[in-house]
Amino acid sequence: MVTIHINDKPFKIKEGQNLLHAGLSLGFDIPYFCWHPAMGSVGACRQCAVKQFKDEKDSKGRIVMACMTPAEDGTRISIDDPEVLEFRKSVIEWLMLNHPHDCPVCDEGGECHLQDMTVMTGHTYREHRFKKRTYRNQYLGPFIHHEMNRCIQCYRCVRFYRNVAGGRDFNALACHDHIYFGRHREGTLDNPYSGNLVEICPTGVFTDKTFKEHYTRKWDLQTAPSICVHCGLGCNTIAGERYGVLRRIRNRYHHHVNGYFLCDRGRYGYEFVNSENRIRRPLQRMKRTDHPAPVSAKTALKAAAASMIENRRIIGIGSPRASLEANFMLQQLAGTENFYAGVSDAHLQQIRTAVAAPGQGPIRIPTLQEAAQSDAVFILGEDLPNTAPLLALNLRRMVDSKAVQMAEDLQIHGWNDAAVRAVAQDTKGTMCIASPKDTLLDDIAMLTYRAAPDDLARLGFAVAAALDPAAPKVESLSEDEKTAVEKISRMLKNTDRPLIVSGTACGCRSVMEAAANVAYALASPNRTAGLLYVVPECNSLGMGLMETAGGLETAFESLDSRGAAAVVILENDLYRRVDAEQVDRFLDAVPQVIVLDHLFNRTVNQADLVFPAATFAEAIGTLVNIEGRAQRFFQIFPTPPEITASWRCLRDLMITAKRTDADFWHSFDAVVSAMAASKPVFSRISITAPGEHFHMRDGKIPRQSFRYSGRTAIGTNISVHEPKPVEDTESPLAFSMEGYNGFPPPSLIPRFWRPGWNSVQALNKFQSEIGGPLRGGDPGLRLMETDPDIKAVYFTEIPAQRTLSNNQYHLVALYHVFGSEELSILSPGIAERTPDPYLALSPKDAAALDLTEGDRAGISLDGMHVKLPVRIMPGLFNTVTGLPAGLPGIPVVQLPTEVAVEKEKTE
Amino acid sequence: MKCPLTEHIRPGEAPLALEAYEKKGGYSAARKAVGKMAPEQITSMVTDSHLRGRGGAGFPTGQKWSFVPMEKEVHRRKYLVVNADEMEPATFKDRLLLEGNPHQLIEGILLSAYAVQADIAYIFLRRAYVTAAQRLAQAIAEAYDSSYLGSNILGSGFNLELHLHSSAGRYICGEETALLNALEGRRATPRSKPPFPPVVGLWGKPTVTNNVETICNIPHIVNHGADWFRRLSRTPNGGTKIYGVSGRVKRPGAWELPMGTTIREIFEERAGGMQEGYRFRGLLPGGGSTDFLIKEHLDVQMDFDTVQKAGSRMGTGTMVILDDHTCPVGLVLNLIRFFAQESCGWCTPCREGLSWMARILSAIEAGQGESADLEKLQRHTGLLGMGNTYCAHAPGAMEPLQSALKYFKEDFNRHIQEKRCPWR
Amino acid sequence: MLTRKEIAEIETEFSRYEQKQAVGVEALKIVQRHRGWVSDETLQATAEFLDMTPDELDGVATFYNHIFRKPVGRHVILICDSVTCWIMGYEDMIQHLRKRLEIDFGETTPDGRFTLLPHVCLGCCDHAPAMMIDDDLYQDLDLEKIDRILGAYE
């Protein structure tokens, strides 16, 4: 701790900070632009000027930039010295010389950091009488709108895009007072984190293009804390709505999970909520050859309940993308022995491995933030930038940690961004990525290794054996494999905080088990390795924590062996899970097919009864991310009429079926309590977020800002009578602008705003320390416990060495951040960036098959013959062929498997 | 011996080739020192000589070299960079040395690199000095052939690679840290200090940068000693200095004279004073980024400390004279336009402030000035000071402006009141 | 798309710098020497050869005024507009050049002979006014001299 003096008052602060960071953490309002808590200081904008004094007697002092000045013992500064106030005002004046009078038409208006800083410094009057410089804008793709005239050259965009996100197709161009930020040639920004530019940019140069399609001022948005539903990381978001249309997704800071950033899939994948493809009314088909007809909820419930009388067996198929509560209610409805995980048996096994392995040996599950602090990372089988984008972004920062260490050895502060980079040069991360194909993280890794999934597993097992003789050994390793094993184990051996990352992308349980073995093998008296498993969906892990009777094939088989009156399918398109023939057969055979979902899909189209399910934006629920963190999402706006939250619909169904136990679940909180009682792992789940009864002293927490306009005018086109405000009976939030406007518990923060801080920078006021945890603790509850002292039970099923027969290739799934996920692809911008279906081959394999780019090739899968255009991928391992996972038109395949590839004869 | 730097320079003729240079005593300092003297010894000599950087900042050279880490246990790559990016307006002294005696520079580089144990040296030469590039390339090839460069120089075990790098323009490249960025193939924005280049420089390695004229002094210091060097000067700053005069004088040119020669002596005796029909109004003593001095300062000695006491900077030591036929506002406008255009665009006050002032001055010069303009200009001279900006570029630009507002206020006022430039 | 000669010239630069990126500026100068200016396609080809993205190389190219990202004439006139040359008659020189060539700064004569550009101090202030045409330096200019000099260029 050191003592500094600000405005003549002493403050005790942590060592090593710069004055801007320290001042803001203490609550002082110091203006700034180029500094960013996640990117450190560069001293470019000169806005954060303060006066520094040598000692108490020094009355003159000198102007220094707070962000570039260390806060050391004895440092004395004044923030409101008249000379420095004048200087800060001048900085705004300079920035305003060329800034256009766009506020009324600028998307940023009302949440603009430049506006806030202008007001803060007190600059008002324009004395510049000359022409302003203007620029031509570029087309940057479907996500970002470009308006360069507004640029104040703070350089944040290029620093984020290049240094944090690793993007290379964007740069600062030109010189002096016509610096331009853009691309060499206009075109879609490549990098999948580009959307963060809209929050990084302190003015309206980079704005959310999709938001423009249905623009609303920030103060007119109704917002609530939410969770991204497009992958298993559970990034925290703030979603905003007006007039029943979900308008945009913004980052919600969580120190341990996503920090300041989101990926583009999470930011722009929301449009399915507004899609024309939404199911908005209950539907019924009397005969399976009929078109479905809309019916009242009462009719639909009665028809469904008819299958449930007299203890008839109901098969319940849950979903890894539905909330815990919805899954739980289905489990209650069907009974645990009839409740199935809505994924293939094989995938369920993998998810169960992700749940069980952490408890089977001495490891820790790091937070995503802690992952960034690892001093060595071994990624086995995952294409992180596509399967867990924000984790990949965090791991990029692992190199930064290394760089900071190198810099601090030279007495350079870690926040001195440019200096740290100068010291680090192109140091690579202590990272090995072993996968079937190259990844966008390869540029920071010191080692990469390519192999087919089974061989990746063998590699992993061998590394574990090299680290701990007690781990099972691998026979018949090739020389190359032995060399790789030696390199990787050497890389991991003398580290303090190693991390092993694996997941379900390879479709191979052995890969995950091998990863666990490596993590166990690294345990020592003063070291516990981190182990993280990437699972594909927002509640894969949640579903994995629940009791299920098996996966889909097991469910289908149970119909044959035990029969059923009906199947209730929760938010799940079975055709994405297992091959179509199996699903067809099952759905044909079940007497009644009842489906709850948001959007029309192939499964919905086979249903006898369809219940429109509320999305994350229209319902409350809990999801569990890959850290095992249970997180609560709150609905943004009242559930539209005739749509119901799935958990509530299932409850209504049980009530209609006269199930007496249904009376207990009269509220969401009651469901949560019941869930807590159902299984030890969920026992504390009620504290994920405060329940409905929780009130602040001024009342509930308003979803609307106190400037929210048009409250009584909305809806006058329907009726001039002022509607009663909709009550939220499920949470401490209100669909209102009245209530408590201060610092609610972090899990309930609907927006970051403080007086004078209308932009995303208001977050500063909510953190216990800038860039640190939220005041009151970051939300969510870690469910999975690990024990660093437990003795490892090594996995022993090592795949045998396989030699492929002629013309056979290992088939893998290749993941695309844009396209592999079911819901986000309904956003036009994401659909635009989704690749067309293809079959991928390495250049060598393609040549051997006499195939060039675009030729059609065929593979045989489970009796089906699939023809696809060839894509040649230089980064794909030889003997491996890949299909893009989850794309429309791509058949579902059980992996791992081998296929023959043949060139299609052209007609 | 009074003009060691320019002794063998014959303007208009080819420079001495290596053999001729050796015959005149060239590379004798190298033979004396490399492998024979301890590197720290040379640094000591240079410190004792009171040699101060000739690029304009005047930092004591020996002291700069002493910041370079010299641990012997770990061999770390180190760089020596020669700043030959002479682009300061009205400055033409380095050209004289580069074209006139490239081997003198090479010998200086060898000795300087040896003193800090740098193993790679770059000459960062401005693009426009084409003749200098050709002559330097030739001389470097000759030096390699004679083993004054490369491996095991003079059998000492010391290795030095010397590369000639020619730039692609931009005045800001002359700023030490911006130059490093330019050498690294980046946009030439300066770097913040600390860390200082001798600790973290080119590609993160310890790097020393010195001006051409500074380096050219080193062989002579090594040959004749620190005492000798100090005694060449008329003031505590050691050595000789190449002074220059340009503008409406009878004999514009450059001359090597004792450090501390008075302005009057350079201006009247060497340059012959004003041309017929022109009268002296003022001068910028050391290039475009120095404050005006006027008649009362003609007897000021031209050295770092004395010129600073008089309210200006010696800078590069090449003066430009303001005559009575030249509009001071136009002159300042020319300079501010230059500085605005050459701003790298990194920090706000320089990028926006200089541009604004250029427009205000342009308006004043065109007869469209307003009374509040002078106050704005004055305010900027205070705001664009060291520490307020990221580097010394904008503060340098303020020097001619602030002194012009002080000494030629009336001329500014006339432009505004008469709504025209009285000189046109 | 780079010629073998250009590639050879760029390759000799690699050994002189610690990192490939450092060769960027020199590579641009090399291709500009061969082609007169650096077009988008030239920039892309050069970037690819250096393992840089075109955006990275363009960020550097557009910073430096000696890299021409627009076509230029066969000869580029760089006339010094700095303080001493200005004192010594720059305005008369530029007025004359504008009249003679009938173009202004940034423009190229219709016959493709000359492009006219301003330039900062050329470092020969004792022989002002001065200008360069391509790599040739011309000092102590007067109107007559300018005419003679221009005549020497095709």
Read off the pLDDT of residues B290-308 as tens digits, 9 standing for 90 and up: 999 999 999 999 999 999 9
Residue B121, domain member (yes or no): yes
Question: What pLDDT shows up at residue A889?
Answer: 84
| Structure token pair of residue A671 | 């469901």
For helices B328-341 and B354-365, what crossing angle results, to 10°? 150
Task: Please tell me if residue A179 touches chain C, with a CB cutoff of 8 Å.
Answer: no
- pLDDT recorded at residue A309: 83
B161 and B187 co-located in one domain = yes
Same domain assignment for residues B337 and B296: no
Residue A565 lies in a domain: no
Subunits with 3+ C-beta pairs closer than 8 A to A: B, C
- Smallest Cα distance from C64 to chain B, Å: 6
For A125-168, what is each residue's pLDDT tens digit?
Answer: 999 999 999 999 999 999 999 999 999 999 999 999 999 999 99
Q: Is the pLDDT of residue B258 over 60?
A: yes
A892 lies in some domain: yes
Asked if residue B164 and residue B215 are part of one domain, the reply reads yes
**Which fold does the domain C75-153 belong to in CATH?**
Glutaredoxin (3.40.30)
Domain count, chain A: 3
CA A699, CA A817: separation in Å to the nearest integer? 41
Between A13 and A804, the higher pLDDT residue: A13
Find residue A447's DSSP bridge partners: A432
CB contact under 8 A, B383 and A64: no
**Has residue B6 been placed in a domain?**
no
Last residue of a domain, one of A527, A562, A586: A527
> Model confidence at C18, in pLDDT bands (50, 70, 90)?
confident
> Does B211 lie in the same domain as B142?
yes
Query: What pLDDT is stored for residue A906 in this prediction?
Result: 64
**Within-domain flag for A795:** no
pTM: 0.96
Q: Is residue B12 part of a domain?
A: no
From CA A724, how far away is CA A856, in angstroms rounded?
61
Average confidence (pLDDT) over A881-906:
87
- Quote the CA–CA distance of A872 and A838 in Å, as a whole number: 10
Which residues 31-70 of C are in CB contact (within 8 Å) with A? 40, 43-44, 53-59, 62-63, 65
CATH assignment at residue A387:
3.40.228
Tokens of A678: 């159902």
Domain membership flag for residue A861? yes
The CATH number of the domain holding residue B267 is 3.10.20.600
CA–CA dist B396, B172 (Å, integer): 12
A385 domain residue, yes or no: yes
Q: What angle do CA A741, A746, A752 make, to 5 degrees?
A: 50
Q: A843 is in which domain, residue-wise?
A: 808-903
Closest by CA position to A421, among listed B184, C50, B299: B184
Whole-number pLDDT of residue A753? 96
With contact defined as 3+ CB pairs under 8 Å, the chains touching C are: A, B
Between the alpha carbon of residue B284 and those of residues A322, A739, C31, C124, the distances in Å are 76, 67, 40, 17
CATH code at position A899:
2.40.40.20
- The CATH number assigned to the domain holding B23 equals 3.40.50.11540
Flag whether A428 is in a domain.
Answer: yes
Co-location of B276 and B411 in the same domain: no
Terminal-to-terminal C-alpha distance of chain B: 48
B145 and B58 assigned to the same domain: yes
- Axis-axis angle for helices C40-49, C24-35 (nearest 10): 140
The neighbouring-strand residues paired with A209 are: none
For residues A340 and A554, is the Cβ–Cβ distance under 8 A? yes
Whether the predicted pLDDT of B73 surpasses 90: no
The reply to whether B333 and B317 lie within a common domain is: no
Place A265 in a pLDDT band, splitting at 50, 70 and 90.
Answer: very high
* B90 chain-C contacts, CB cut-off 8 A: 82-84, 121, 125
pLDDT at A907 (0 to 100):
55
- Is A807's pLDDT higher than 90? no
Which of chain A's residues have a Cβ under 8 Å away from the Cβ of C44? 184
Q: A417-439: per-residue pLDDT in tens?
A: 999 999 988 888 899 999 999 99
Query: Where in chain C are the domains?
Result: 4-63, 75-153
Do both B132 and B181 map to the same domain?
A: yes
d(CA A729, CA A775): 27
Give the distance from residue A821's alpha carbon to the nearest chain C alpha carbon, in angstroms. Answer: 30
Report whether pLDDT(C150) > 80: yes
Residue B348 and residue A153: Cβ atoms within 8 Å? yes
Shortest CA distance from B357: residue in chain A? A128
Asked if the Cβ–Cβ distance from A64 to B387 is below 8 Å, we say yes
Reference A814, options A902, A877, A904, A900; nearest CA is: A877
When divided into structural domains, chain B yields a total of 3
Q: Residue A759 falls within a domain, yes or no?
A: no
**By mean pLDDT, which of A501-505, A718-722, B149-153, B184-188 is the weakest?**
A718-722
In a domain, A828, yes or no: yes
Same domain, B173 and B92: yes
Percentage, residues of chain A above pLDDT 70 = 100
pLDDT of residue B1: 55
For residue A172, list chain C residues with Cβ-Cβ distance below 8 A. 59
Q: Cis omega before residue A294 (within 30°)?
A: no
Chain A neighbours among C 112-141 (CB < 8 Å)?
none
* CATH code, domain with A49: 3.10.20.740
Predicted confidence band of residue C93 (pLDDT cuts 50, 70, 90):
very high
Q: By C-alpha distance, which of B245, B314, B242 is closest to B93? A: B242
Chosen domain end from B295, B323, B351: B323
Q: What is the pLDDT of residue A125?
A: 93
What CATH number does the domain containing B342 carry? Answer: 1.20.1440.230
Domain hosting B99: range is: 18-231
B238 occurs within a structural domain? no
* Chain A interface, Cβ < 8 Å to B: 42-47, 49, 62-64, 68, 87, 90-91, 94-95, 97-98, 127-128, 130, 152-153, 155, 172, 174-179, 410-412, 416, 418-419, 422-425
B340/B315 same-domain check = no
Phi, psi of A483, deg, nearest 5: -60, -45
Phi-psi region of A334 (alpha: psi -120 to 50; beta: other; left: phi over 0): alpha
Report the half-sphere exposure of B237 (CA within 13 A, side-chain side).
Answer: 23
CA–CA separation, B405 and B382 (whole Å): 12
Q: How many CB pairs under 8 A join A and B?
A: 105
B357 and B294 in one domain?
no
Residue of C40, C42, C62, C69 best to disrupt the A interface, most CBs of A under 10 A:
C62
Token duo for residue A437? 């194909």
CB B22 within 8 A of CB B104: no
Quote the mean pLDDT of chain A: 95
Fold of domain C4-63: Arc Repressor Mutant, subunit A (1.10.10)
